[in-house]
Homo-oligomer: A and B are copies of this chain.
Amino acid sequence: MYISQIATYLPNQVVTNEYFQQINGLSHEWIIERTGIEQRRKAQATENTNSMAIQAVKALSPFAINLQNIDLIVGATYTPYDTIHSLAHAVQHYLDLHHIPVLSISTACSSFVNAMEIVQGYFAMGKASQALVVVADNNTAYSNEKDTIGGHLWGDGAAALIVTKNPDNQSTMRVIDIITAGAGNVGKAPEGVYLRPNDGKFQMPHGKDVFMNACQYMTKATIDVLQRNGYQLSDLDYLVPHQANLRITKNVAQRLGLPEEKALSNIQYLGNTGCAGCVIALQENLYRFQKNDLIVVTVFGGGYSYGAMLVEYL
């Protein structure tokens, strides 16, 4: 299958590390050293995962595709505005599309790759051929800013992608393969990081376990998806990992023997934008990619889940 377009939405408000110094005493230097984050975006109180998803769809070029031909919408978020009228339904409402499958998933920060695999399934069944994938996380709405363990990590953002079964003159990337897997049975998966919406905000009592497993499983998924398609690590041109922590990204690059500059990152200025982070990074770096570049998007989500998508730039 093929990706023809990616658009993103980022809220205007910038929150610098100085803000956290004021409210919870964490210094700019301390945050930078441990996470690489210098600033992040924060949605307005009137925004939410549904409205951000719609903003990302609005940012798609109206010239590149007739959105009325979309025959599948898959949304993803773990910071839901509404668990009933989900972000995928909000996008359907915005586009006024009828009688097409519409669903939203949650596998935390790995949800983007899971959503792409669901699209792959609909294409394989012949039930769709032109999908819209929307990913959005409104982390700050569920974050306690005073929490010195995780309050400073989170940013908000959204992305939308057009994914087609067959290539057309808009195709920019060919999806060669997708791997996803849960790791809900590993380490501190049940309580490493959690969001129990009926009982408060994000909690991350076992950040070290999350960190270690993120490094391990994003490395594993990258190697797996390359190997099973006959590629070697040396064939890889760019890695687009989940944007959780710059130290995780550097650790994964090191394990893979990849030069740091090949592991793309936006966490410095966006923070952890959840399942949207890697898609935003992919979109931001389109200008960099050359024809036939091999790119792996790899993800790890609290809970735990991991995955990798191997694409060729066209």
Chain A residues at the B interface, C-beta cutoff of 8 Å: 73, 78-86, 88-93, 95-108, 111, 114, 117-118, 120-122, 124-125, 127, 141-142, 180-186, 189-191, 193-198, 301-305
Partner of A101 from B79, B86, B96, B180 at Cβ < 8 Å: B180
Known: A82-B196, A85-B302, A124-B124. 14 other contacts (CB 8 A): A78-B83, A79-B83, A84-B194, A86-B106, A86-B107, A92-B184, A92-B185, A93-B190, A100-B182, A103-B105, A103-B111, A118-B118, A120-B121, A121-B124
Q: Are B120 and A125 in contact (CB under 8 A)?
A: yes
Q: Are A185 and B95 in contact (CB under 8 A)?
A: yes
Query: This chain: how many copies in the complex?
Result: 2
Q: How far is the CA of A197 from the CA of B82 in the complex (A)?
A: 7
Q: How far is the CB of A9 from chain B (nearest CB, A)?
A: 19
Q: Are A98 and B197 in contact (CB under 8 A)?
A: no
Q: Are A103 and B194 in contact (CB under 8 A)?
A: no
Q: Are B89 and A184 in contact (CB under 8 A)?
A: yes
Assuming the A-B contacts A83-B80, A84-B78, A89-B304, are A184 and B106 also in contact, with contact meaning beta carbons closer than 8 angstroms in the complex? no
Q: How far is the CB of A17 from chain B (nearest CB, A)?
A: 25
Q: How far is the CA of A84 from the CA of B206 in the complex (A)?
A: 14
- Sort A-B residue pairs by CB-CB distance and give the 10 closest, nearest first: A121-B121, A102-B182, A89-B184, A197-B197, A92-B184, A124-B124, A78-B83, A84-B302, A85-B303, A124-B125
Q: Are A108 and B88 in contact (CB under 8 A)?
A: no
Q: How far is the CA of A89 from the CA of B142 in the complex (A)?
A: 21
Q: Are B195 and A89 in contact (CB under 8 A)?
A: no
Chain B residues with CB under 8 A of A86: 106-108, 303
Chain B residues with CB under 8 A of A101: 114, 117, 180-182
Q: Are A184 and B88 in contact (CB under 8 A)?
A: yes
